[in-house]
Structures are given as C-alpha cells and as structure tokens.
C-alpha cells in the first residue's frame, strides 16, 4: 500500500487492472516483470522510467524480473510507432541482448538482499515450432480482439505486417510463461503497452489459471512543450557513457524546463516527498536559481554514471562556465569536446587564416575584427594579436580550443 501511495504521489500510475485486487496482492511479496527489447546496443533514458519503477518495487520487497526480449526483439513492437521497424539479424539481437543485460544489472542488483532475475524470452521460443505456437497460443486470440487494440488499430491505415501483428501473441506468451514458471503475477510497462499487457492477462485466463494476474502501466514521458523526451540535437540520450558522455548526460538534465523539472524529479529520483515539495517551492519562488535542475542533474548523473561520472561532469561544466579550460584533467578532454565543431590542422597557421579555414569566422575581415575586439580565446585565454601563429605548443591535452564570443567553441586537432 505504501508503495502504491508513493507511485501515485510521483504520478507513476497511468492505468492498472483491478485496483483493489492489485492493492491486496501487493500487501505480500509479489513477482513482477517488465520487458526490454534489444533494438539497439544500449538502453536510453526513455527506458529509465520502467527500470526505476522496477527498482521501487524491488526496494519495497517484491521480486523483480527484467525480461530481455531476445525473441520479441527479432519481431518489433508496433506500439507507439507509425512505421515498421528494420529487422536485425539473430547475431545482432544476441549482441544487443548481452549489452542490455549488463546495463540492467547496473540499476537492478543481481546479488545481495532480494536480487532481481534477468530472463530472455528467447529461452522459451527458440525450440517452439510455428505449428505448436499457432495451435496452442494463436487459437486464443480472435482477430476482432486484436484489431481493437490501439497498437494494431493505429497502424491499419498505413499498413502493418503479419510479423508485427503477431507481436501481441509473443508478449502475451511471455506473461503466461513467467506466470507458470516464476509465479509472476504482475506486468509493468509504459502506457503504450496496455493492449499487450491486457492481452497477456486474457491468455492467462483462457488457459484456466485461477490465481489472478495484474497489469500496471506508467506514463510515457513527455515534455510540457510537446517535444519528445530524451532527444537532443545529437540524437537520443543513451545510458552508455561511450555514446552519451556523463557531461552530455548532466547537461540534458540541467537544461530541463521549469515546467517539467518537478515532474521529472518525481519520476526519476528517489528523493523523499518532503525534499521534492521543498524543491517545488524553490522553483515557484526563485526559478532563476535553477536549484531543482541542478539537483535533478546531479541525482541522475550519479545514478547512471556513478560518483566519478558526476565529478567529471561537474568539472567540465565549471570549466566552460568560468572559461578556465586549463582546470580540465587529461581524461576529461574527449568528453568535454565531443560534439563540438572540429578542424584538423596540419602544421601551424596564422590565427586569422585559421579562423577562416576552420569556418569559425566567415571572412578574413571578420576574423581580424574578432581578434582585435577580444572575441577570440585560445584555450580559455583571450588572444588579440593578429600575428599570432597557432602551433602544437598551443595545445590543451591533444587539442587547441578556440572560443568565439561567449559560448561558441571549436576544436582544432593537430595532425
């Protein structure tokens, strides 16, 4: 009951089947699961909400199963999509599955008190024949029932293949297998999974099981301006530090709009209700201080990348804010300059010529004006000499960093 109250306070309950029955079920330790399809070699922050919801259940004493979709990942979930996914090979899906299993274990402990379990639905589908599947599972799904589901109905106009049409059967089969083999009584998923979850409940009922199962969905995360959550100019925000650095990750969260910050703190952090209400008051009284954004960015970066990742993100942030790039450590360099415009310099070059060649300034006349007016900085220090020659001696680590104005950074790589 306390868990459900916390979920409701955080806005994490979108829909649930049989509310009174689920509340009674959660008064005792319950096995539940959420599925994660391996459609890429890393999870992204769109996956964080179901992951952290599972963590809340685990910390409340329930047994959590994280299901990696080695089979369903071969098919592609039509939910929430307007077009068909590209199909990956079996070897690719297996590689993705291993990576996702490793990432899930960072958030959901596999050892210690009340460890979680990680399963792969390829285990119970690999040897399953199409005849057996159609006879034993397919016969329980009337076409009219499937067509009424949003995940299918929304795709009918633009077309849906039989492959994706069958996804609902596979996910329902997962719930049935986990119910029978693991006594799993609850499936948790995003709101776009409601049709698949209820289909699984129906399959369990049609198989004659008397012990009731339940479904609960969390909301899909959206921003107040309607833009898709978890996307930046550089693409998705990944949980893999090699794809999205801790600094980039930190910057995503610290730039959250005032209208979204408390909602995201409720969704994603484990701060107490009192701490959240205090931050909400801070946003209302002094939004310009961005106290809530800093707390959100720190909590999320530490959660995903650890103390070392947060420390690096804070160092890089402070260096860019102060302009003193020489405070950066050598191991910070790649992360700090990732995504910035880069130019390869062979040999040495006069500062004016370099600004034009690297497309930092549109013309030599503008380049000279920028230098003379103090708008050009080399490695954080203002450079106003028109006869300055940029050489390897001007490197910061392996790079020369040129700043034009207050915020436009460019990286010169010496080759």
- 3-state SS of 66-97? EEECCCHHHCCCCCCCCCCCCCCCHHHHHHHH
> What tokens appear for 81 in the block?
């999509």
Rg (CA), the chain: 26
d(CA 403, CA 152): 51
Binding residue positions for ATP: 231
282: buried, middle or exposed (CB in 10 Å: 19+, 13-18, 0-12)?
middle
Nearest alpha carbon to residue 247 among 342, 328, 344: 328
Specify whether the CB–CB gap between 95 and 41 falls below 8 A: yes
Strand, coil or helix: 412: strand
Q: Phi/psi at 168 (nearest 5 deg)? A: -55, -40
Cα angle 342, 344, 350; round to 5:
105
Q: How far apart are CA 169 and CA 264, in angstroms?
A: 33
Q: Which residues are annotated as a binding site for L-tyrosine?
A: 33, 167, 171
Are the C-beta atoms of 227 and 252 separated by less than 8 Å?
A: no
**Where is the binding site, in residues?**
33, 167, 171, 231
Neighbouring C-beta atoms of residue 40, cutoff 10 Å = 17
């Amino acid at each position: 009951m306390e868990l459900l109250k916390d979920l409701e306070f955080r806005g994490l309950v979108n829909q649930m089947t049989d509310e009174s029955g689920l509340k009674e079920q959660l008064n005792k330790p319950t096995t539940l699961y959420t599925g994660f399809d391996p459609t890429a070699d890393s999870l992204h922050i769109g996956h964080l909400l179901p992951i952290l919801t599972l963590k809340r259940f685990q910390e409340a004493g329930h047994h959590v199963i994280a299901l990696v979709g080695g089979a369903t990942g071969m098919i592609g979930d039509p939910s929430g999509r307007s077009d068909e996914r590209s199909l990956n090979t079996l070897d690719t899906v297996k590689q993705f599955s291993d990576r996702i299993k490793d990432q899930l274990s960072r958030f959901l402990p596999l050892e210690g008190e009340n460890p979680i379990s990680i399963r792969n639905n390829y285990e119970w589908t690999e040897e399953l024949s199409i005849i057996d599947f159609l006879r034993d599972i397919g016969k329980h799904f009337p076409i009219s029932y499937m067509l009424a589901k949003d995940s299918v109905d929304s795709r009918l106009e633009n077309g849906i293949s039989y492959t994706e049409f069958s996804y609902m059967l596979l996910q329902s089969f997962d719930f049935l297998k986990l119910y029978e083999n693991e006594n799993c009584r609850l499936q948790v998923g995003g709101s776009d999974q409601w049709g698949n979850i209820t289909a699984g409940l129906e399959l369990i009922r049609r198989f004659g099981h008397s012990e009731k199962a339940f479904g609960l969905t969390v909301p899909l995360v959206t921003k107040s301006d309607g833009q898709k959550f978890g996307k930046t100019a550089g693409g998705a925000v990944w949980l893999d530090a090699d794809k999205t650095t801790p600094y980039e990750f930190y910057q995503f969260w610290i730039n959250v709009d005032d209208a979204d910050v408390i909602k995201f703190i409720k969704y994603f952090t484990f701060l107490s209700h009192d701490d959240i209400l205090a931050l909400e008051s801070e946003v209302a009284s002094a939004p310009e201080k961005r106290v809530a954004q800093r707390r959100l960015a720190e909590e999320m970066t530490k959660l995903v990348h650890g103390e070392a990742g947060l420390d690096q993100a804070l160092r890089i942030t402070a260096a860019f804010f102060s302009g003193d790039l020489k405070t950066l450590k050598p191991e910070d360099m790649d992360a700090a300059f990732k995504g910035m415009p880069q130019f390869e310099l062979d040999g040495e070059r006069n500062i004016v010529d370099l600004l034009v060649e690297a497309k930092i300034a549109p013309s030599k006349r503008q380049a000279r004006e920028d230098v003379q007016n103090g708008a050009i900085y080399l490695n954080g220090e203002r450079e106003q000499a028109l006869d300055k020659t940029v050489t390897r001696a001007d490197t910061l680590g392996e790079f020369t960093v040129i700043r034009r104005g207050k915020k436009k950074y460019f990286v010169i790589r010496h080759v």
